[in-house]
Structures are given as C-alpha cells and as structure tokens.
Structure 1
Amino acid sequence: MIKNRFRKRLPIVAGTLLGSVGLSAHAQSNVTLYGVVDSGILYTSKTLNPTTGQNAGHQFSLLTGGLTPSLFGLKGNEDLGGGMKAIFALESGIDMTNGGLNDSNGNLFGRQAWVGIDSRFGTVKGGVQLSPFVLSLIASDPRGASYFGSGVPIYTGAVFVTGAFNSNSISYTSPRIAGFQGSALLALGGIAGNFQAGRQYSASVDYTYGPLLITASMYDGNAGGTAATTPIPSTVAFTGRTIGASYQYDALTVKAVFINLKVAGSFDNRVYGGGLSYRFTPVTTVDAGVWYTSDGNDTNNHSILAATGLTYSLSKATLLYGQFGYVDNHGKMDTGLSTNGALFGVAGTTFATAVGIRHLF
C-alpha cells in the first residue's frame, strides 16, 4: 500500500510528467484534425419490423452516412530520423441525425485508436484498427464501399463490426516490394488463462502492376474476450476469405470480388460481386454494382442486390450524391440496402433511394 505522503506527491509528479510529455508532443509532432459529415434522406419501399420479422411498410427517414460514414479524428506523426516516424490516429463515428456515436464499435474513439512506428521496413501499429481483411474488401468493392447498396451492408448485416474495428490488436504491414505488399493482424482477447477467447487474426497480400490490383485476404475470430463488452458486436465468431481485383483504364474502373463469410452453425455466405465506375467529367462520377449472395448451408437462402449512384462535386470538399438500389431476398436471407437505416431486409423485393450531401474537413 502506498503511504499517505506518496499519495499526496503522486498527483504532482504525474501532472509534471504529463505536462512535459504534452509540451514535447506539441513542439515536435505534426497533428491534423480531419472529418467527414454526410447526411441525406433515405426512402425504402419495405422496412423490416424487428419484432415480427415482417414488412412494416415503406419509410422516409433522415440518413446519417449515406455515402460514407460521418466521423472526426486526429492523426499525427513525428519524424524520428533515419526514415522512421512515430504515428497515431484517434477516430470517432458521428450520427448526424442525433449527434451521438455511430458507425463504430459504439465507443468514443471506436473507429480507430492506435499508435505505431512507420519505417522503410514497414509499419507496426497497436490499438483499435481495421483488419487487413476489411481493407482488402474496401479496395475491391465495386461501388467504393458506399454505405448504401454495396458490399458494406452485406458484410455488416452478417458480422456487424467484427473485423472492421479490432480492439486489442497489433498489426504489421510490409513495404511494397516488386508490386507485392503483405499485412497481418493479431487481436488479443485479454482474458487471463484463456488465449482463445476473443482471439482474432487476419492477413492479406496484394499485388499492383500499373492500373491492376489483385488482393486476397483471410480472417478468423473467436467470440468473447474483453472486446465483447463494446456496445456494437465486434467479436462475432466467424471465418472470412476474399479475393478481388480492380483495373483502371483512364476514367473507367472495373472491379470484381468473391467473399466468403462463415459463422459455424448459422450461415456460410458466398458473395459474388462486380461493377464499375466512370468519371464523366472532373466533377461527375457514376458507378454501379451487383452482388449475389448464397448460403452454402442452404441454397434456398439467397439474395441479389444491385445499386447505382451518381456524385457531383461542388468543390474539392463538398459533393452531392444520389443512389438507387434493389434487393431480392429468398428463404431466410435478409440482405439490406443501407448500412444506416436499412441494414436488414425482408423477404421479396425492396427498392430504396438515398440522396444527400457530404463535406470533408
């Protein structure tokens, strides 16, 4: 037990040390405040009643994160010399409809909260971060991982934010060599005496050759661990595999992807996706994508999702967007059209549209 006199001194010493650290960081580090605010209107021809599982009818709603998530964050680096830098990021999701937290694991900095070292030998990070599996999915998504009508609601509807926001994780990303780059992540469960509880790992490799990108990745995670206490489920036990490709020719980009998301005893979803985007003018881009999902455990459970969108840039920081999507669910499949506002769908055909504005700062 610490004696009283040491207890009295401890706040003074701690305050002095923290003050010194703060002054040093302020003097030497490069810190950037950044963010995205994205809001719009969502219409769905059918809406899931969570109590009955049936159609509750069409719905108009204010939408947060229709194209990309709304967020704010801090990122920074410090030059350590010899080509080495200390780096960090803190990032929080924002719900534009009520000012609360959203598009994260439910915590204040639930999107990113990590510190690391970047050098010519690669990058090492520790904290809450995206897995190589999710980064691979983002790179190969035909609609640029839009939060409406893309692989994002398919993924989130299956495993929530597991793999997206990994707590207790350590990662390494190699430098790019002859077009190849590898990345690996291990998330520790944090439970004494039980290494398997909450243990998650992921790895990826990608290859670039001019306008061509080929990416492959895997994910394997267990339930439990200390991260199981996050407000949004982030330790769903599942295995994931993906391989995708992207090719850019002038203003045209074409992408294709295969994804396997498997939860033992529940579903074994195989997702086949493809699409393209075309930049008609420097300020106008149109894209479209199609995803077919089939449950390997029961092929009666399947869905097809198709979506298209247009963005018009008012400036370098501000754009308007309009998106239209269609999904047809069969059996027990419940694919939704929007990560926010329509994550789960109902049986049969549903149409939806989202229009909004996004600003970067």
Structure 2
Amino acid sequence: MKRSILAVALLGIAPVIHAQSSVTLYGVIDASLLFTSKTPNAQGQNAGRTFALADGGLSPSLFGFSGVEDLGGGLKAKFKIESGFNTGTGGINDSNGNFFGRQAWVALEGNYGEVRAGLQFSPFVNTIYDSDTRGFANFGDVQSIYGNNVFLTGVHNSNAISYTSPKIAGLEGSVMLALGGEAGDFQAGRQYAASFKYDNGTVMLNGAIYDGNSGGTVNTPIPSTVAFVGRTLGAAYRIGSLTAKAVFINYKVAGAANNYVYGGGLDYIMASQVDFNGGVWLTRDRNNSDNHSLLASVGAAYFLSRRTTLYTQVGVVNNHGAANTGLSVSYPNVFFEVQGTTVGVNVGIRHTF
C-alpha cells in the first residue's frame, strides 16, 4: 500500500519537474590539417617544417552538459560542466588538464543578475573574446598571444565566485574572485577580475582588469595560477555584415615580460554562408624593446549547414629577441615559435551538436 502511494506521488511530481527544468548535452568536434614552415625543438631552434593532423584548428573540441531550472519569480538555477578532448587521439585537451577542466559551475540567475560558483572563465578573458575579430580561433589569433604569456591563467579559474549584472541600457558589468584556499595565506593563489561592456548593437566598448597570484592549493597539469596583472580595452563597430574591432591588452607577468599588445581586424559575413575575417597583433615587451612580435592571419569559413563548417586559415608570425609567439594553441609543437618569420596554413572541418 505504501509503495503504491509513493509511486503515485512520484508520477504526479515528475511532469512538474520536467516542465520546469531541462538538461542539454552539447559539443564541438574540430579536426584540421596543419602546415608550418618552422617548428621549434626542445632548445628553441628550428627543427624544420611540420605537416600534421591537428585538433581544434578553428575552435576547441569539447562536450558538456548544461541545465536550467525555473524556480519561479524570475529566479533560475543553472549549471554547466564542460570537458575538452583531442579529436586525433581521444585524450583530454584544451583545458587545465582535468576531465571537466574547462567549466564546472552552478549559478542562480534573477532580475538582479547572476551569481556563479565553481570553475569558470574570468571576466578578463571574456572581454578579450568580445573584442577579438577572429572569435578566439585556435590558429593565428590573439588567443595564441594570451597562452604564450600566461598559459591558462584567467581562462579556467578554479574555486571562483562571480557576479554579472543585468544589462541596463546596453551596459553590464562582471566581477570575479577566485580563492587560493591556502591556510594562513589569503593572497596565495588569489585571483580577481572585473569588467564592463557597453553594446547598443552598432557600437561596442569594453574593458577589464585581472590580478592573480601564484601559489594556493590549485594544482593543475597545465599552469593556471601564473602571477600576472592584466588590463584590456576593446571596441567594435558594426555596419551591416561588416564588423571592425580593435583591442589593447597588457600582460605584466611577475619576474618576466611586460607585454603590450595592439591589435585589430575585420569580419565580413557574405550571404549568411561565408565568413571572412582577418587580424593583426603587435606585441612589445616594455621591459626590453628588443623583444617584439607581429602576428597576422586571415580566415574563411563556409557553412555547409547550421552545424557543419569547412574552414581555412593562413597565418604569419615574426619574432624578435626573446619573443616566441606561436601560431596555434591546439597543436603543442607550434604553441611557441622560433625567431624570424614562420608561415602556417590550416584547413579543417568543425561540427557542433
């Protein structure tokens, strides 16, 4: 009798829960052929050309689960867990080295904004993404400069709490604090960031700061607590299918470089089926003017469908002094590059689900 009553109760509740909540499986699979005219060896010298199958030429290969539950009164509970993988080998890739190393957070969202807790992207890296003309492509993009300076620090922030305001008259802001968790030392591994963004559909202006310390209890296979201070300002202007963007970024890395990055480019979507974009980024070390690099690239994407894209990209990087800006963040052999000029070509296919 008790079992029957319990079964009826569960059957009665289940449709209500289903109507108010949802869970989504999503992902990206990206594979490409990569050619570079130079490849650094362990000593930083040129080992010759590279021709290889590379994972994630345009964007990282990943899968994840996201969910949302309507709690009523405009309040929602949300979560996301996300893992990166290598299409060529099936191994963990493009994250901090942990299985769900890209994102793992839970949040409450309401009329007054969103509070999020867990492993998440920082407002600093989100701001750079918004002002990047190539959309954080894994090849020939400002993302290569980011990783070259501070690896994954600021990208995948562990033990983080953030607040993002609602958008009011096109303006929104975000703040984040990541806790190092070391007993007796609040500063060890502590990271914080803040950002603003104004977007009226035609003009976009944004800016962000980041301040992170080394140490703490976070220990990931790929460094994510490099001590650095970051600043960025960006702008975009849209005219129909054409978007122009410009960005300034400063990476002041403790005990190392103080790099200023100046960049910009154009993105043009033709007939909703082809996307052309290109960008140029100049990096200079304010601590040593001999260390500088110039990265330039162009890309074209053809949308076979809403989910499947064919693409090609061409990039050139020129390094001087101790500068070693690479061409790709997804292929480790060319994450850093040698002095002089290196040319690379990338052709691939991306499918989302």
Q: TM-score, normalised on structure 2? A: 0.94
Distance 1:80 1:213 in 2: 33
After TM superposition, the structure 1 = structure 2 runs for residues 162-311 of structure 1, keeping only pairs within 5 Å, are 162-227=153-218, 229-311=219-301
Aligned to 2:36: 44
CA contact (8 A) 1:311 1:320 kept: yes
Are 1:333 and 2:323 counterparts? yes
Equivalent in 291, 308, 333 of residue 318 of structure 1? 308
Aligned to 1:140: 131
Aligned to 1:129: 120
Unaligned runs of 5+ in 1: 1-22
Are 1:120 and 2:111 counterparts? yes
Q: Give percent identity, aligned residues only.
A: 57
Alignment-mate amino acid for residue 226 of structure 1 = T
Distance 1:30 1:324 in 2: 41
Task: Give secondary structure in 2 for the equivalent of 1:279.
Answer: strand
Are 1:158 and 2:149 counterparts? yes
Distance 1:260 1:48 in 2: 26
Alignment-mate amino acid for residue 335 of structure 2 = L
Distance 2:21 2:74 in 1: 15
Task: Give secondary structure in 2 for the equivalent of 1:336.
Answer: coil
Moved beyond 6 Å, runs of 4+: 23-26
Aligned to 1:19: none
Distance 2:336 2:17 in 1: 45
1:45-93 alpha-carbon deviations (Å, 9 max, x no partner): 00011x2110010010111010000000000100000000000000000
Aligned to 1:359: 351
Task: Give secondary structure in 1 for the equivalent of 2:180.
Answer: coil
CA contact (8 A) 2:60 2:330 kept: no
- 1:107 is displaced (CA, Å) by 0.5
Are 1:345 and 2:345 counterparts? no
CA contact (8 A) 1:142 1:273 kept: no
Distance 1:204 1:279 in 2: 28
Distance 1:139 1:76 in 2: 24
Task: Give secondary structure in 2 for the equivalent of 1:338.
Answer: coil
- 1:247 is displaced (CA, Å) by 1.2
Alignment-mate amino acid for residue 289 of structure 2 = T
Aligned to 2:8: none
Distance 2:258 2:272 in 1: 41
Distance 1:303 1:213 in 2: 27
Unaligned runs of 5+ in 2: 1-13
- 1:178 is displaced (CA, Å) by 1.9
Task: Give secondary structure in 2 for the equivalent of 1:157.
Answer: helix
CA contact (8 A) 1:142 1:289 kept: yes
Aligned to 2:22: 30
Aligned to 1:106: 97
Aligned to 1:14: none
Q: TM-score, normalised on structure 1? A: 0.92
Aligned to 1:7: none
Distance 1:319 1:84 in 2: 36
1:67-126 alpha-carbon deviations (Å, 9 max, x no partner): 000000000100000000000000000111110111101101110000010001000000
CA contact (8 A) 1:303 1:327 kept: yes
Aligned to 2:66: 75
- 1:264 is displaced (CA, Å) by 2.1
Alignment-mate amino acid for residue 193 of structure 2 = S
Task: Give secondary structure in 1 for the equivalent of 2:327.
Answer: strand
